[in-house]
């Protein structure tokens, strides 16, 4: 999956490593609960997922953490789609066991 920001497509990979990086940055778990949006958590997760996407794709990562508000402002739907795909894949793997 990719996120488009400022006319450029960036690979995004929401994964264990990305979640761990976001939690480490925040000093707490990322909270995704019904009706409550964790904006700080979303920005942290977006940053670490983009960084992980670039690493897995073998690409340089040229975004800064401070840009995540702008990235999400422009590409929120793409981020939500990638998060949903990750969540659904995880739920499916758990259900298969």
Domain that residue 34 falls in: 2-96
Q: H or E segment at 74?
A: helix 68-96
Which stretches of 2-94 are assigned E, i.e. beta strand? Answer: 2-5, 8-11
Domain count, the chain: 1
Dist CA 53 CA 51 (whole Å): 5
- 53-95 pLDDT, tens digit per residue, is 999 999 999 999 999 999 999 999 999 898 888 765 555 555 5
pLDDT value of position 93:
54
């Amino acid at each position: 999956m990719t996120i488009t920001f400022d006319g450029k497509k960036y690979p995004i990979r929401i994964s264990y490593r990305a979640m761990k990086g976001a939690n480490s940055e925040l000093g707490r778990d990322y909270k995704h609960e019904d009706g409550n949006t964790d904006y700080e958590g979303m920005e942290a997760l977006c940053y670490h997922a983009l960084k992980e996407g670039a690493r897995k794709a073998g690409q340089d990562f040229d975004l800064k953490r401070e840009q995540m508000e702008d990235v999400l402002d422009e590409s929120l739907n793409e981020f939500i789609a990638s998060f949903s795909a990750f969540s659904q894949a995880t739920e499916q793997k758990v259900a298969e066991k």
